[in-house]
């Protein structure tokens, strides 16, 4: 009887505790979010954050800088180095399966002396990158919808409706509001939508990749796609070949990140110390293959390279892939119906990607406010009592993203600035924990199921150097001569933001911000 009483006194949830929740408790956090995500759902959201078609707006500029060979082989090179970053992050994610992810990793890996500062830098870089990432997807989705409406009402040559800046901005804002509303419901709603997104992008991606070259009446020879190098100094102002190649590869740099989304969802994922790393690496693998195939399909299907950038062509020269798709379908069927269908597939990809990025951004803001790292933290860390999601954090991210888009009314280069800020912030946030992992003493690291062992230093070194290169490339001017309408505003915007954050640290935050705050002890104390 005595043994039976002792057995029954053990809480059932403790006997059946999830491995991710157990590790979370060891790290000092209680389980507050609902842990109901499966590996497939986490993969779906992570995959959606990267998106097959996310590089569509950058395809035209990348092709213009140095021709198809640089664009196509640049993707292969970027994929190779991206694997180093992904593997390094997968190991850390396996050891620290928390929603705070990158900045939590930075705090623990940098040690008690440098941990708070590393955590502060990483948290704000990640926050800047994710929130501006919402804006980047809203802009991309608005641009795709703008062309869909144009081709549905005619073309640029025969009176079709091309939305002006004011209408474009309304589209941009509507996307963000819709994403915020959807993210205010229970996470299972987002998980369901992202499963739809996964199949949308896989099936839609296969349709576009396979069908587009088949529909095109003629295709470019392999020599053009894989070996043709052609600069356009009269249009870009860039006459240096290395510079042109760097600009051309920005497409790949922009597309191949976002896999950390799996880490942001680890407190809501079953067995996150295992499923998190697998989701990170699986997403990189899928996007690497699909993205390269998509670029190949577009490049092989080009009908007339000289007309792609003409502001008087059917799509007003606004979106080069749209013109390639239009030329293929119009040449074959003498109408734009097929092009509209393909563009709707691409538009859907942007919609689902923005939805997932909003989910990630809200989790980062929630985690940072839980650790008192954001002004008015008690407001942003509130969890909806029924849906168990950080609703206030969702709407804060949405509001800032809308503000970022307001210059659309006046500036032509706003998209370049937004994606530069997003990439530098988002990818720059990866660098802090990876560098800390590289230099820390191995005996201070508690490995999870995914462990690199002796390979961690060379892997982390390559990953860190690649991230430094990527961030530097997005700070460069994209067009010459430099003028008000060609200036890359990203260095200025980031400079102001990061200077403010560093001043805040020196003058005030260093006195009270100590990195991630344990809350399981507080809970036990109250008990």
Token pair listed for 43: 């993969």
| Dihedral of alpha carbons 182, 177, 104, 514, sign | negative
Does 11 map to a domain? no
SS3 at position 269: strand
Does 425 map to a domain? yes
- Angle of CA points 348, 351, 357, to nearest 5°: 140
- Asked whether 289 and 455 are in contact (CB, 8 A), the reply is no
Count the Cβ atoms, other than its own, within 10 Å of residue 425.
25
| pLDDT tens by residue, the chain, 527 residues | 343 333 334 343 444 666 656 666 666 556 555 556 677 777 777 777 777 788 899 999 999 999 999 999 999 999 999 999 999 999 988 888 776 578 788 888 888 889 899 989 988 898 899 899 999 999 999 999 999 999 999 999 988 999 999 999 999 999 999 999 998 876 777 778 878 888 898 899 999 999 999 999 999 999 999 999 999 888 888 989 999 999 999 888 888 887 877 776 766 667 777 888 888 898 899 889 999 999 999 999 999 998 999 999 999 999 999 999 999 999 999 999 999 999 999 999 999 889 888 988 888 888 788 777 788 878 888 887 676 788 899 999 999 999 989 888 877 778 888 888 989 998 998 999 999 999 988 888 888 888 898 899 999 999 999 999 999 999 988 888 887 777 788 888 888 989 999 999 999 888 888 877 665 544 444 43
- Domain residue limits at 78: 35-511
d(CA 122, CA 217): 50
Q: Cis peptide before 481, with omega less than 30 degrees from 0?
A: yes
- CATH number for the domain spanning 311: value is 1.20.1740.10
Residue 232 has phi, psi (to 5 degrees) of -130, 65
Does 98 map to a domain? yes
Q: What Cα–Cα distance (Å) separates residue 76 from each residue in 70, 71, 288?
A: 10, 9, 8
Does 351 map to a domain? yes
d(CA 211, CA 5): 67
Does 15 map to a domain? no
The predicted model scores a pTM of 0.86
Token pair listed for 494: 């980031």
- What pLDDT is stored for residue 446 in this prediction? 84
Does 81 map to a domain? yes
Does 226 map to a domain? yes
- What pLDDT is stored for residue 364 in this prediction? 82
Domain count, the chain: 1
- What pLDDT is stored for residue 39 in this prediction? 75
Nearest to 122 by CA among 101, 93, 145: 101
- Asked whether 461 and 438 are in contact (CB, 8 A), the reply is yes
Does 258 map to a domain? yes
Token pair listed for 89: 């992050």
């Amino acid at each position: 009887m005595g043994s039976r009483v002792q057995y029954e006194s053990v809480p059932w949830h403790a006997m059946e505790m999830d491995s991710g929740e157990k590790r979370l408790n060891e790290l000092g956090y209680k389980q507050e979010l609902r842990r109901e995500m499966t590996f497939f759902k986490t993969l779906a959201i992570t995959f959606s954050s990267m998106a097959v078609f996310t590089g569509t707006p950058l395809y035209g500029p990348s092709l213009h800088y140095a021709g198809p060979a640089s664009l196509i082989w640049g993707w292969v090179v970027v994929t190779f180095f991206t694997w180093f970053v992904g593997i390094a992050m997968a190991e850390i994610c396996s050891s620290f399966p928390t929603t705070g992810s990158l900045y939590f990793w930075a705090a623990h890996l940098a040690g008690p002396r440098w941990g708070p500062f590393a955590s502060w830098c990483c948290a704000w870089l990640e926050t800047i990158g994710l929130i501006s990432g919402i804006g980047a997807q809203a802009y991309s989705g608005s641009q795709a919808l703008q062309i869909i409406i144009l081709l549905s009402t005619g073309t640029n040559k025969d009176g079709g409706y091309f939305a002006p800046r004011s209408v474009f901005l309304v589209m941009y804002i509507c996307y963000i509001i819709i994403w915020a509303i959807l993210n205010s419901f229970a996470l299972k709603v987002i998980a369901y939508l992202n499963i739809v997104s996964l199949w949308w992008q896989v099936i839609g991606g296969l349709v576009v990749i396979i069908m587009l070259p088949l529909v095109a009446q003629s295709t470019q020879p392999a020599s053009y796609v894989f070996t043709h190098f052609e600069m356009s100094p009269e249009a870009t102002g860039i006459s240096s070949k290395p510079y042109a190649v760097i600009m051309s590869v920005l497409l790949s740099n922009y597309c191949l990140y976002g896999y950390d989304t799996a880490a942001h969802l680890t407190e809501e994922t079953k067995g996150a110390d295992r499923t998190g790393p697998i989701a990170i690496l699986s997403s990189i693998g899928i996007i690497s293959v699909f993205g390269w195939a998509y670029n190949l399909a577009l490049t092989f299907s080009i009908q007339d390279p000289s007309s792609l950038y003409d502001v008087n062509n059917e799509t007003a020269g606004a979106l080069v892939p749209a013109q390639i798709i239009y030329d293929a379908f119009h040449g074959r069927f003498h109408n734009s119906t097929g092009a509209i269908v393909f563009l709707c597939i691409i538009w859907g990809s942007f919609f689902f990607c923005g939805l997932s990025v909003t989910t990630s951004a809200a989790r980062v803001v929630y985690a940072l406010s839980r650790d008192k790292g954001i002004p008015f933290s008690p407001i942003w860390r509130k969890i909806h009592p029924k849906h168990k999601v950080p609703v206030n954090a969702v709407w804060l991210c949405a509001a800032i993203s809308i503000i970022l888009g307001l210059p659309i009314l006046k500036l032509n280069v706003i998209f370049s600035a937004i994606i530069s800020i997003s990439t530098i912030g988002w990818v720059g946030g990866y660098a802090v924990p990876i560098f800390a992992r590289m230099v820390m003493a191995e005996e201070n690291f508690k490995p999870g199921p995914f462990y690199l062992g002796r390979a961690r230093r060379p892997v982390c070194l390559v990953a860190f150097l690649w991230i430094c290169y990527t961030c530097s490339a997005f700070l460069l001017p994209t067009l010459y001569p430099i003028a008000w309408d060609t200036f890359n505003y990203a260095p200025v915007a980031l400079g102001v933001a990061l200077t403010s954050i560093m001043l805040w640290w020196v003058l005030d935050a260093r006195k009270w911000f100590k990195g991630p705050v344990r809350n399981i002890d507080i809970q036990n104390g109250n008990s």
